[in-house]
Structure 1
């Protein structure tokens, strides 16, 4: 053994890296060879002792390393069925399997794992007696029946992804998992078939003392049961959004608020809540009279909120008990912007966001709404002053701000103020009018005579320098001089790698049925799919056979006409980054 391995800290670090390699499949690892380190060591681990064995066996990706410890087990296992373990083989395995605490079975490891589990279906001895966390992701739902030998009272975390087709094989598992795993405190169920929602909802209601629930669609009864839990700390779920269910959902929310008391507050101990609901207004009754101390609230909904609803929601969220607890707020509304309807929604304005000024510890604010946004530099500065610890600030990166021409848009001066007041920012997405680049607040010639460690030199000519932001998301952002803007951004954001602007949604032709040739092939893309190349101009005149067709312009951020100029900004940023790398390489070489 190398002398360096005699240092316990070094040896432990190496073993940790080997063990960590078995958690998940490496990217683009088609053959699954990324777990060869543990599989190879498993054959020689008879020479290792604690704590090496505990670290090597703590996390397994599949059950292959287990059978590799047995004599005579080689690649031939792929070509034959797995036999039931003999008493002698069980004795060998008992040196290793009690050390396994986390297991992942997915498409990369399911062939070996399922073959082993089939041989253990009628075995009364648990294969992994100290298993704590189980992740099961198999392509065929029928394979979930083989999870039975792995379920034990020691499991506290269960993550199961079911197949798409509802074959009914998952039903026995869902009906019995609360008995087989009575100490479960965290569950994560993924399923695409809506018929699974009823059984998953019942399984959630049967489980006791759950602290974390992450699932898809559940019914109202399960949601009501979850809301009254005293142990739950984290919830992620979908509520039915069919037209017939909307009234029932709203009634359930109001009933929870109406029948609650100081001793029975809905979600009283929940810190993280992530809900997919129909309407943002459904949440207001749950927030208004209560004192839940949410740290992280994330809501996805369908109905575009009004200015009044937005203000009411933020006001309810900003009640006194929560002012020191909220760290993250995320609202995502599923877009309703389409090609044929010109919708006019009420704007998101400063007054709507004012209740959030009471959150001094806010770290993340993400809003993605179809509402246009109206904020100016002064209003942004007032918001930024209230959030000195803000790390993520993104508003309408997808749908754009669609600022009215009469409004005062945000400018680069507002960006400088935001970066100065929120020095911890690392993710940023908004709309800016960058046609006017502000003059430096510090004379660049003066910076040349200052010592490099001085604060002025480190802050740059505009008085601020953020090294955490690497990607800037901009929408509806008009630009005039790409080179000047790139220089400005590189000075205040020296780590910036690129500016992301929304790609085009070009005008689409919806052709009529050709009277002579009803199946005439269309020489363009499907009219429901936008053109991929943003630089291809719209054809004029229209091609033969398309006269009388409807020309539909899918709504796109207004700033897309500046997309080509922003591409030039990115080119300037890449060149500056290349020059900087070459300069650093030269300095290192000298």
Structure 2
């Protein structure tokens, strides 16, 4: 609502009635919008009011209407037609509505093995198309496009204008066969576009040419992501993406494959950039001419680096002088050499040197193929100095043997920690596991925790009184507890301890047991049944507590 309308709304001028009457009318019509078309017709005409002349109210009514009811709402009366059609066509879940709904069905023929255009698309058909296409603000194509891809190519080639969607703001192509949709992609790159998300599954000169002009055709992009399925394409795309990236001045989120040196310098100088994901090719170090500590990232919310080796990420960090970011993520594929060379320790030391200790709040590490990489608790010691950490996630990065004391030493400088995802898999090679004592110490040192993922040995109950309240330690705000394939022998004792430590916990999250495909260490049927018994007992304890409190 603009400022003038808002003022008259508050004052209760005749043009918009009093505020309580408009709110009441808006609520009533929103309810009617969900009813059948006949009820809408009768009720709208009975309730027609000068307040319905306010475009914002009409649009709000349309947004609260079920998508399946929007066509009926548009046909109710002229007052509802425009806002209902705007809501109906604003966000398209695929390109199929453009083909199926906008053009007559007799235009197309489907002989065996092909689809053909039976007759030219006349002006009347294009007028119908032009009635809806300018309303489209976002298109997301995630499913198999083979059904419509040939229709789409014919439609684009026969369209009489240079732009099909003049007001498009967001485009996502997250499926295969992008090489068959190049004509559509070229026409969809319009100046109004602010978000572009492309999954690139094949390489061609035509596609690279289109990518090279993104900066010129979409100068207002604030979000750009190019996901390349085959890492061997990275080096080929970098020379074409770099000129396009260097023309974009308003980016706030960027996710790209390997960039040339010019592109890296441009990205580090963007003051608007808040999120940056970089997929690092193995050839980066051989071809770069950058000097160590020659680049800096300032005021980032999230920096993510992905590479075929953790040492490669460490080496890339050497080219940075300062990294001011709230969240740092490293996704890597561990090599055989790195498994035995202390790569995690080197990475953590470099991260401490480059990242601002006061700014960093979240660290996430992940090994792409979940290779069993063993690490020592001391490898993560440098990270203890990031005293403002609220999120620490290494559960998918490595396997550790850690004692209760070592676990307590790791987290004792993180009092603000809210999410602690340390491990979810007990590997037979792990020589030491924390117990309930270690879990209790984590709760004591990090009282703000809302999510924990930690493998423990629940069979070790020495010094644990299962009927006590965790030696005075309780966390009533925990929302998620993942214990993975933790060792268990007595579901009753485990449920009693967990109920005391987490009085409001609904149950242990058993998602790791039902992964696809299930990990070899999550195939023990007996252990799964024991953890399911723990959740069953926790549910019974909650019911009993509720009844006792009620009495």
Do these two structures clear the TM 0.5 threshold for a shared fold by scoring above it? yes
1:430 is matched with which residue: 445, 448, 454?
454
1:233 is matched with which residue: 274, 283, 289?
274
The residue that corresponds to 2:434 in the other structure is 410
Cα distance in 2 for residues equivalent to 1:443 and 1:422: 23
> Would you say 1:332 and 2:354 are equivalent positions?
no
Provide closer, same or farther for how the CA distance between residues 37 and 160 of structure 1 changes in structure 2, counting only shifts above 3 A.
Answer: farther
Question: Which secondary structure does the structure 2 equivalent of 1:146 belong to?
Answer: helix
Provide closer, same or farther for how the CA distance between residues 250 and 421 of structure 1 changes in structure 2, counting only shifts above 3 A.
Answer: farther
The residue that corresponds to 1:29 in the other structure is none
Could you tell which deviates more after superposition, 8-17 or 303-312? 8-17
How far off its partner does 1:130 sit?
Answer: 1.2
Are the equivalent residues in 2 in contact too, given 1:62–1:104 (CA < 8 A)?
yes
List aligned pairs for 1:407-486, cutoff 5 A: 409-437=433-461, 463-475=473-485, 477-486=486-495
Are the equivalent residues in 1 in contact too, given 2:326–2:361 (CA < 8 A)?
yes
Cα distance in 2 for residues equivalent to 1:50 and 1:226: 43
The residue that corresponds to 1:348 in the other structure is 376
The residue that corresponds to 1:32 in the other structure is none
Q: 5+ unaligned residues in a row in structure 1: which ranges?
A: 22-35, 339-344, 445-458, 505-529, 535-555
The residue that corresponds to 2:45 in the other structure is none
Provide closer, same or farther for how the CA distance between residues 413 and 94 of structure 1 changes in structure 2, counting only shifts above 3 A.
Answer: same
> Would you say 1:295 and 2:322 are equivalent positions?
no
List aligned pairs for 1:558-569, cutoff 5 A: 563=524, 566-569=527-530
> Would you say 1:156 and 2:165 are equivalent positions?
no
Deviations 1:101-121 (A, max 9, x none): 211234367745762552232
Q: 5+ unaligned residues in a row in structure 2: which ranges?
A: 1-24, 32-51, 111-115
Question: Which secondary structure does the structure 2 equivalent of 1:474 belong to?
Answer: coil
How far off its partner does 1:63 sit?
Answer: 4.5
List aligned pairs for 1:186-265, cutoff 5 A: 186-194=223-231, 196-207=233-244, 208-209=247-248, 210-216=251-257, 218=258, 224=264, 228-231=268-271, 232-241=273-282, 245=283, 249=285, 252=288, 256-258=290-292, 260=294, 265=295
Question: Which secondary structure does the structure 1 equivalent of 2:387 belong to?
Answer: coil
> Would you say 1:570 and 2:507 are equivalent positions?
no
Deviations 1:497-534 (A, max 9, x none): 44467799xxxxxxxxxxxxxxxxxxxxxxxxx9x8x9
1:358 is matched with which residue: 351, 368, 385?
385
The residue that corresponds to 2:38 in the other structure is none
Provide closer, same or farther for how the CA distance between residues 581 and 114 of structure 1 changes in structure 2, counting only shifts above 3 A.
Answer: farther
1:384 is matched with which residue: 411, 423, 432?
411
Question: TM-score normalized by structure 2?
Answer: 0.71
Cα distance in 1 for residues equivalent to 2:392 and 2:131: 50
Are the equivalent residues in 1 in contact too, given 2:242–2:259 (CA < 8 A)?
no
How far off its partner does 1:10 sit?
Answer: 9.8
Provide closer, same or farther for how the CA distance between residues 381 and 78 of structure 1 changes in structure 2, counting only shifts above 3 A.
Answer: farther
How far off its partner does 1:205 sit?
Answer: 0.5
How far off its partner does 1:238 sit?
Answer: 2.6
Question: Which secondary structure does the structure 1 equivalent of 2:323 belong to?
Answer: coil
How far off its partner does 1:390 sit?
Answer: 2.4
How far off its partner does 1:132 sit?
Answer: 0.9
**How many residue pairs align between the two structures?**
485
Cα distance in 1 for residues equivalent to 2:96 and 2:528: 49
Are the equivalent residues in 2 in contact too, given 1:473–1:500 (CA < 8 A)?
no
Question: Which secondary structure does the structure 1 equivalent of 2:537 belong to?
Answer: helix
List aligned pairs for 1:91-102, cutoff 5 A: 96-102=132-138
Cα distance in 2 for residues equivalent to 1:84 and 1:76: 8
Highest RCO, 1 vs 2 (Cα 8 Å, sep ≥ 6): 1
Are the equivalent residues in 1 in contact too, given 2:191–2:219 (CA < 8 A)?
yes
How far off its partner does 1:5 sit?
Answer: 1.6
The residue that corresponds to 1:48 in the other structure is 80
Deviations 1:331-369 (A, max 9, x none): 22356968xxxxxx87422x4333323323323222257
